[in-house]
Chain A
Amino acid sequence: MRLELGNIYINDVKLADTTKVENGVLYVNKEELLQEIGGDEHIKSIDLELAHPGEEVRITPVKDVIEPRVKVEGPGGIFPGVLSKVDTVGSGRTHALKNVAVVTAGKIVGFQEGIIDMTGPGADYTPFSKTHNVVLLIEPVDGLKQHEHEAALRMIGFKAAAYLGKVAKDLTPDEVKVYETEPLFESVKKYPNLPKVGYVYMLQTQGLLHDTYVYGVDAKKIVPTILYPTEIMDGAIVSGNCVSACDKNPTYVHLNNGIIEDLYEKHGKEINFVGVIITNENVYLADKERSSNWTAKLCKYLSLDGVIVSQEGFGNPDTDLIMNCKKIENEGIKTVIVTDEYAGRDGASQSLADADPKADAVVTNGNANETIVLPPMKRIIGTTEHVDVIAGGFAGSLRPDGSIEVEIQAITGATNETGYVTLSTKGF
């Protein structure tokens, strides 16, 4: 499967009468966009605000972040099974608007989280301080249940990203990257001397506010399966995960998964990157056993020499991570796990809720319990009234001057476990 990804670099976003891209500027017709994404009976109002890198702006509570993309050639459309039919995507050509993100914000439950600061010390912790953000503030009708609220908000974000992505269809990209994964036997024949490497992609799947969808299927209902990596670049995996801002994978991160990008970079040179095995992180322990048995089985079946496993979330998924690692290692396959840590504010406590001697190659993306003081910002998009009840916040977190003292777990993407983040640890 071969995908050409055409990147169109955007250096500014402005409101205008027509939605278009001109000289690297994305112009957005606000009325048209709101009309396109509106109409949900569960939603009372949607507003749109722009936030640019370097501005004194704080966005919170953030739910999802989505990159605008459009299918230009090849089967299917962006977000198959969600916005498009369930055609298998990942081949042909796709265009992406780089440096732009749709950010959905809203209060689904009383305790909230997800901060994006566009400048200051907090900005260094989130990749979404570097994007021009089209922020959607979504207000539900009174008395709406959390399930319906989350679903409505999720769909509005995808629709907005698809609406903006459409303008990229007829543009000439600034660069075109080609990603290709051959069928297994062909790939092994082509690179007989390179180690076969797979990526086990763990998806958050525990229930309300903790879900992920694959081609529109609730991923807690799947057994582990194989995807071409390029399917994921076309939106085969979308986020419905709103909890644990620092280490959830927003849809943007699924589309731009850094492990996939890096494995492709080395593909055909140092390794033979044969594909992605997706698996879940269910609450029921028998599901965990089954899924980790299956990931190990598929790794063995593909005769892999090495595997990278990434986690999403905290606590419960630590057990899936270790089960996957242990069972894949037991098949004689070298395994590296990618995670983050909750090691206490001083970093001295046990990092994960599970462990095994086989987990001897670990990449960490930072300690989510570290605290930070976020200075006041001139403009708040959303509301900070929930900051005292944010994950990683505490009574008194929101100070009278508008500054906030929180653990970095409150910051969207701060310790992302696919490495889409600047934090890491070097050492042995």
Chain B
Amino acid sequence: MKAIILTNNPMILNKYSDFYLVEYIEESLMTVLTKARDKIHEGHLLLSHPLSGSVKPNETIYKSVIISQEKGTLDMNSLMIIESSIETARKFIGMKEAPLWNKKILEDFQEIDYTLIASAIESMKQFK
């Protein structure tokens, strides 16, 4: 399936921009999620879970979400999942914001986000 990766993770941009349409959003995790929701309203399908990983949305600052390149009618399942995910992320960030991490920890979070999305891409590209 032709896909768009919405991400604020520079590692995703470096690793995947030659193969996929990467929409790099140099903003917060929350902004990536709300952009994904906007795209779903436009008719894109959600392809990866927005709360990928057990790292909490107020720990990591990185998020990558895969959506379809093609647009159809609004997919309610996609909308339900992104809305619940936004609600959950907001709950966590409301409790406490992610700290100002040092460079090494930021790189670890980039790597985790990358491997989570890589596992989705591996599933996606079988037979595609």
Chain A hits for B85, CB < 8 A:
315, 353
* A381 to B91 CA separation, bound complex (whole angstroms): 34
B116 A285 Cβ-Cβ under 8 A: no
User: Is B21 interfacial (CB-CB < 8 Å)?
Assistant: no
A389 B92 Cβ-Cβ under 8 A: no
CB < 8 Å A-B pair total: 132
Chain A hits for B49, CB < 8 A:
283-285, 288, 315-316, 319
User: Is B10 interfacial (CB-CB < 8 Å)?
Assistant: no
Smallest distance from the beta carbon of B96 to chain A beta carbons, Å? 5
Scan A198-235; emit 1 where CB is below 8 A from any B CB, else 0: 00000011111110000000001000000000000000
A354 B95 Cβ-Cβ under 8 A: no
A349 B91 Cβ-Cβ under 8 A: yes
B116 A206 Cβ-Cβ under 8 A: yes
* A204 to B49 CA separation, bound complex (whole angstroms): 14
* A381 to B32 CA separation, bound complex (whole angstroms): 39
Chain A hits for B20, CB < 8 A:
none
B47 A285 Cβ-Cβ under 8 A: yes
* A314 to B49 CA separation, bound complex (whole angstroms): 12
- Chain B interface mostly helix, strand, loop or mixed? helix
User: Is A125 interfacial (CB-CB < 8 Å)?
Assistant: no
A284 B47 Cβ-Cβ under 8 A: yes
Number of interface residues of A (CB under 8 A): 46
A350 B91 Cβ-Cβ under 8 A: yes
User: Is B55 interfacial (CB-CB < 8 Å)?
Assistant: yes
Chain A hits for B14, CB < 8 A:
none
Contact pick for A395, options B51, B99, B105, B119, CB 8 Å: B99
Scan B105-124; emit 1 where CB is below 8 A from any A CB, else 0: 10011011001111110011
Smallest distance from the beta carbon of A43 to chain B beta carbons, Å? 19
B54 A283 Cβ-Cβ under 8 A: no
Chain A hits for B51, CB < 8 A:
314-316, 318, 353
B116 A207 Cβ-Cβ under 8 A: yes
Contact pick for B109, options A111, A206, A342, A391, CB 8 Å: A111
A283 B116 Cβ-Cβ under 8 A: yes
* A335 to B56 CA separation, bound complex (whole angstroms): 28
* Interface residues, chain B, with chain A CB atoms under 8 Å away: 46-49, 51-57, 59, 66, 81, 84-85, 87-88, 91-92, 95-96, 99, 101-102, 104-105, 108-109, 111-112, 115-120, 123-124
* Interface residues, chain A, with chain B CB atoms under 8 Å away: 109-111, 146-147, 204-210, 220, 241, 243-244, 247-248, 282-288, 313-316, 318-319, 342, 344-345, 349-350, 353-355, 369, 388-389, 391, 394-395, 409
